[in-house]
Amino acid sequence: MILLSPQKLSADGMVLASFEVVKSPKSIDYKVTEFNNVELRRRFATQPKAIKDILQVFTKTGIAALKSQLMATYAATQTGKSFEHYFEPTFLREIHQALNILRPFLEETKCYHKIKNASGGIKTSPCTFQNIRPGIQFEVIRKSGRLSMNAAVTLGSHAFALGEINRSHFLLEKDDRYYLLAYKDYQTLEWLNSKLVTDAGKDEVAFRKTVLSKLEENYKINRAILGGNTISSKPESQVMVNELNDTFLMLTPQWLYEGFLLEGGFKDSSEVFKNGESYTIKRDQVAEDELRQFLRGLHPSFEKQNNGYFFLPFAEAGKKNWFLKAYRSMLDMNIAVTGMDLLKHFRFSGHRPVTTMEINNGENEHEICLLMRVSFGDEAIPLLTLQRILLSGQHIILLADDSLGVLDENWLQQYGDVLRLGRIKDNEIRIERWMAVTEQHNTDQTALLKPALSDDWWNLWDRWLADEQPVFELPATIQVEQLRPYQQKGFEWLVLLSRLRAGACLADDMGLGKTLQTICFLAHQLEQYPGMKHLVAGPASLIYNWQQEFKKFAPGLRIHVYYGSARNAGDLQAGAYDVVITSLGTLRVDIDELEKLSFCVAVVDESHQIKNPYALTTKAVNRISAVTRIALSGTPIMNNTVDLYSQLNFVVPGMFGSHEFFKHNFAEPIDRDQDPVKIKSLQKLTAPFILRRTKEQVAPDLPEKTELILWCDMGAQQRDHYDQVREQIRSSIFLEIEQEGFDKSKLTIIQGITRLRQVCNSPLLLQHEGFWCPDSVKTEVLVDELLNNLKGHKVLVFSQFTKMLDLLAKQLEELKLDFFHFDGQTPSKQRMEMVNSFQEEGNTTNIFLISLMAGNMGLNLTAADYVILFDPWWNTAVEQQAIDRTHRIGQTKKVFAYKMICRDTIEEKIINLQEKKKSLSDSLIGGEDSFVKNLTMTDLEYLLK
């Protein structure tokens, strides 16, 4: 018999010994003998040599030899770790390997074990070794505000909490039965106890990246507490080809759901994991069945194959070029074919791709027509076939002689973008002429499109890139002595791109003069094309700001404001004017009339408002007929990379393909996977058409801006109301999440958080719900600041809540303090009159109450030197826009911006979370991510705690 002593794994490793039960009339004694050569020969003489050799490991001599061997290996490899750090895991791995080999022997051998009993003493009793391989699975839990993993051990069909199992390293014991844990699983359990994992539990983002992403590929994890993402879209079909037993060609149908690859039988939904995030994919049975049925129709043998894949002997696949025909049929049906480069049965072609390309400018001045031929030997490849292969991410093509043609990296870099983005008909590829600018840094050998633009244009572009001297003079109608250098550059950039009839997105920081640069450009175009008309469309609140800026900088231009109930579309057709200014809302309503007009330049201000390609305003904007289109926005990316699509599709229409193409090929890989190749590719394509400069880069002389928090401590009555509302919201929200799921509860979550923010401002905002508390610490602090610290200063006060502004207005009236006040209901003309009065030198009305969303863009309020954000907003970019109403070119005073935050409330937690919600799109052009969009279950529990 054998005695098992699992506790010795932590001591000398001699976990096995020889064991006898000696019975006498008076007692039962146990005789334990350490393994040695004599004992092994006496007890196990009949065992195979392999077993006796492994048992030898557990003798003193064997353990000593193992340690000596490990010391020698350590000295030879020079791992850089201390010997103690290296020795224990390596020693245990060797012991585990020996026990694993002995496992079948131990299952057949009578065994006893020596372990602690319930009272803490040592007991010796019979035990058995089981042939079941245990597994482990996990559940994410939260304890004391930290995330961690609960481990469970699976034994057959039963799961036991780790605490129900006696574990000695990789030896598990349950009810006197022993199981050997896989060494990888043992290492995982040890790793989960490390400081790295414990520290990661403090932050959900770190926990997902450090812990979940490492475990998700190998283990089942219950992560219900974290919520998840849902994908519900039509999949892209593809077929993977590979070889089965070097005899059969196998075709496996697969489906790509927003980048996630699924195969096998249909299920209503599938759960997948990536970077610690879970995704529930709602599968499309019709689309999946269409692919299966298509494949069944490719060969009679496939009709009865229902195992999730289809196979043919290679001899059958080669008859009458069947595989070549099937391959091309799949490509013709826009079904991607993958795995070609792994086929051993097929030889690679000895021919390299020979490519010829000729530029044929054709009749359409917007397009470049490329006559292209790609061949392997004598076989020319259809361009549509090449495009489908590249769009599926492949670089191998099946040729007519059953060989595989390879499109190497150099070829892909030179021709890939042209084929992916081009419109193909027969042997012609049509692309937008503007795309040639993306080759600005290419060498002559790789610059395919550069010849499409004249040498004169390239010379001007190179001067613009390199020279500090002006490339173009300012128009005579501009009443500015000199632009700032970066403004001159911006104006010239617009002119250069317009010469290609390309549009542009000017994305400078707020307050750097995008309006002035655009006015200079419009005046220049009027000099070049007299008699043409321009269009400027933006939020209604900016209409009169534009009108005023034209009067200031280009008073000679004739301006027509097309807005309001008195507007007449007939005036647009025959009116003697140079520039039409309208609102995006008016443009949407009157698009049937406006699209009949032809404009030289169409400008969309605050272009992030057309980021949704399916919105009626976006569709209307794209119906405008204009030679050149300009988008202006200080925050072109509000939520994620896909926000760029509609704005770029407006300024350079057609260049980036369809919305789905852009989303699949750029937005998803960048936002979800942080794919560096895709980021670099999109940077290259967008760089010529987006110009973004920050204040730090180009306006170092702008007075300093100081951002501070004005902490407010609630009184007892307001705090009591806050706690009541918080508990009410917490219980209702978590009940709904339990019933409906996290994603479906987002609206309720936002509404609940908004109510809490309102209580922080003033409980009177919720008086319609039965709450009556006149206390508002923020109002008290603001009034105190206005009366005592900010006398003689002009102050902007922003709030998201118009009713809060009404309460503040009532308070200021009682104190006989003069103020201006507007929100989204205030007519645009009236807003501009207030702004002008506030800006007038000598005007003594020093307070301006403004709703955040109505006044956070386009306005020049440089008379103010203090900005008060009465309530923090979800998105810090929106807050910055508000602050930049005064911190902009023309400001001569130091600017102070205060966020009013109630301590120990949801507001304090919001500003903490804002620091963690930075957008990845900074790597493209800059911007802030949406706070609400990325709210997680962990964030919610933190906010409502």
Give the distance, in angstroms, between the CA of residue 361 and the centroid of all CA atoms in the same chain: 39
Handedness of CA 519, 525, 531, 532 (dihedral sign): negative
d(CA 387, CA 383) in angstroms, rounded, equals 6
Backbone φ, ψ for residue 75 (5° rounding): -65, -35
Task: Tell whether the model's pLDDT for residue 79 goes beyond 60.
Answer: no
- The domain in which residue 74 lies consists of 1-129
Task: Tell whether the model's pLDDT for residue 721 goes beyond 80.
Answer: yes
Check which CATH number belongs to the domain holding 740 and give it. Answer: 3.40.50.300
Of 33 and 700, more confident: 33
Please list, in sequence order, all residues whose beta carbon lies within 8 angstroms of the beta carbon of residue 395, skipping any fewer than 6 positions away: 341, 389, 406, 407, 408, 412
Q: Using alpha carbons only, give the angle 22, 27, 30 rounded to the nearest 5 degrees.
A: 35
Backbone φ, ψ for residue 368 (5° rounding): -110, 130
Do 809 and 709 belong together in one domain? Answer: yes
- Share the mean pLDDT of the chain: 85
In a domain? residue 478: yes
Handedness of CA 767, 770, 775, 778 (dihedral sign): negative
The residue type of 675 is D
d(CA 920, CA 932) in angstroms, rounded, equals 16
Of 106-120, 432-446, 759-773, 816-830, the one with minimum mean pLDDT is 432-446
Strand order in the sheet with 598-605: 559-562, 579-583, 534-538, 598-605, 625-632, 504-506, 690-691
Do 464 and 442 belong together in one domain? Answer: no
In a domain? residue 273: yes
pLDDT score at 393: 79
Please list, in sequence order, all residues whose beta carbon lies within 8 angstroms of the beta carbon of residue 62, skipping any fewer than 6 positions away: 35, 56
Nearest one of 818, 778, 781 to 801, comparing CA atoms: 778
Do 275 and 362 belong together in one domain? Answer: no
Of 36-45, 237-246, 634-643, the one with minimum mean pLDDT is 634-643
Of 823 and 489, more confident: 489
Please list, in sequence order, all residues whose beta carbon lies within 8 angstroms of the beta carbon of residue 564, skipping any fewer than 6 positions away: none
Last residue of a domain, one of 650, 681, 698: 698
DSSP 8-state secondary structure symbol assigned to residue 893: S
Instruction: Return the H-helix or E-strand segment holding 719.
Output: helix 716-740
Task: Tell whether the model's pLDDT for residue 442 goes beyond 60.
Answer: yes
pLDDT score at 632: 94
Backbone φ, ψ for residue 869 (5° rounding): -95, 100
Mean pLDDT to the nearest integer, 25-48: 83
Do 194 and 63 belong together in one domain? Answer: no
In a domain? residue 208: yes
- Residue 870 pLDDT class (50, 70, 90 cuts): very high
d(CA 532, CA 547) in angstroms, rounded, equals 19
Question: How far are the Cα atoms of 727, 770, 799, 879 from residue 765, in angstroms, in the given order?
Answer: 18, 10, 13, 22
Of 239-248, 545-554, 660-669, 765-774, the one with minimum mean pLDDT is 765-774
pLDDT tens readout for residues 513-537:
899 999 999 999 999 999 899 999 9
The residues that bridge with 22 in the sheet, in sequence order, are: 29
Mean pLDDT to the nearest integer, 658-675: 81
Task: Tell whether the model's pLDDT for residue 330 goes beyond 60.
Answer: yes
Nearest one of 145, 134, 136 to 172, comparing CA atoms: 134
Please list, in sequence order, all residues whose beta carbon lies within 8 angstroms of the beta carbon of residue 702, skipping any fewer than 6 positions away: 511, 695, 887, 888, 889, 891
DSSP 8-state secondary structure symbol assigned to residue 700: T
- Residue 592 pLDDT class (50, 70, 90 cuts): very high
CB count in 10 Å sphere of residue 89: 13
- Residue 559 pLDDT class (50, 70, 90 cuts): very high
In a domain? residue 347: no
Structure tokens at 58: 């557990």
pLDDT tens readout for residues 484-494:
888 999 999 99
Mean pLDDT to the nearest integer, 391-401: 86
pLDDT tens readout for residues 456-472:
999 999 999 887 789 99
pLDDT score at 708: 78
pLDDT tens readout for residues 121-138:
888 889 999 988 999 999
Mean pLDDT to the nearest integer, 82-86: 69
Do 680 and 794 belong together in one domain? Answer: no
- Residue 687 pLDDT class (50, 70, 90 cuts): confident
The residue type of 454 is S
Of 266 and 697, more confident: 266
pLDDT tens readout for residues 167-222:
999 999 999 999 999 999 999 999 998 888 988 888 887 888 889 988 987 888 88
pLDDT tens readout for residues 250-263:
999 999 998 889 99
Do 556 and 651 belong together in one domain? Answer: yes
In a domain? residue 325: no
Mean pLDDT to the nearest integer, 347-362: 84
CB count in 10 Å sphere of residue 42: 11
Long-range contacts of 652-655 (CB under 8 A, 24+ apart): 652/432, 652/434, 652/502, 652/503, 652/689, 653/432, 653/622, 653/629, 654/423, 654/432, 655/421, 655/431, 655/432, 655/434, 655/435, 655/685
Please list, in sequence order, all residues whose beta carbon lies within 8 angstroms of the beta carbon of residue 620, skipping any fewer than 6 positions away: 587, 588, 591
Do 547 and 673 belong together in one domain? Answer: yes
Of 340-349, 481-490, 571-580, 869-878, the one with minimum mean pLDDT is 869-878
Task: Tell whether the model's pLDDT for residue 917 goes beyond 70.
Answer: no
Of 417 and 889, more confident: 417
Of 355-359, 751-755, 915-919, the one with minimum mean pLDDT is 915-919
CB count in 10 Å sphere of residue 728: 13
Burial tier of 157 (Cβ tally within 10 Å: 0-12, 13-18, 19+): exposed
In the chain, % of residues over pLDDT 70: 93
pLDDT score at 830: 85
pLDDT score at 412: 86
Do 432 and 567 belong together in one domain? Answer: no
Task: Tell whether the model's pLDDT for residue 146 goes beyond 70.
Answer: yes
pLDDT score at 446: 59
In a domain? residue 70: yes
- Residue 664 pLDDT class (50, 70, 90 cuts): confident
Mean pLDDT to the nearest integer, 47-71: 88
Say if residues 870 and 782 touch (Cβ distance below 8 Å): yes
In a domain? residue 340: no
Interior/surface letters 266-300, b for 16+ CB within 10 angstroms, e for the rest = eeeebebbbebbbbebebbeeebeebbebbbebbe
pLDDT score at 77: 67
Structure tokens at 284: 């499309």
Of 305-314, 626-635, 700-709, 898-907, the one with minimum mean pLDDT is 700-709
Last residue of a domain, one of 412, 437, 452: 452
Mean pLDDT to the nearest integer, 408-416: 85
Of 723-737, 758-772, 812-826, the one with minimum mean pLDDT is 758-772
Give the distance, in angstroms, between the CA of residue 852 and the centroid of all CA atoms in the same chain: 27
Please state the three-class secondary structure of 753-811 as a single string: HHHHHHHHHCHHHHHHHCCCCCCCHHHHHHHHHHHHHCCCCCEEEEECCHHHHHHHHHH
Nearest one of 436, 428, 450 to 373, comparing CA atoms: 428
In the chain, % of residues over pLDDT 90: 36
Q: Torsion-angle region of residue 62: left (phi > 0), alpha (psi -120 to 50) or beta?
A: alpha
Mean pLDDT to the nearest integer, 720-738: 88
Specify the number of domains making up the chain: 6
Do 237 and 112 belong together in one domain? Answer: no
Last residue of a domain, one of 655, 671, 698: 698
Of 643 and 179, more confident: 179
Do 180 and 283 belong together in one domain? Answer: no
> Tokens 């602090």 — which residue?
781
pLDDT score at 929: 38
d(CA 773, CA 755) in angstroms, rounded, equals 15
Under DSSP, is residue 265 helix (H, G, I), strand (E, B) or coil?
A: coil
d(CA 228, CA 273) in angstroms, rounded, equals 10
Do 855 and 758 belong together in one domain? Answer: yes
In a domain? residue 348: no
Say if residues 254 and 236 touch (Cβ distance below 8 Å): no
Do 504 and 633 belong together in one domain? Answer: yes
User: pTM of the full predicted structure?
Assistant: 0.60
Nearest one of 883, 846, 862, 900 to 708, comparing CA atoms: 900
pLDDT score at 922: 43
pLDDT score at 919: 42
- Residue 920 pLDDT class (50, 70, 90 cuts): very low
pLDDT score at 650: 93
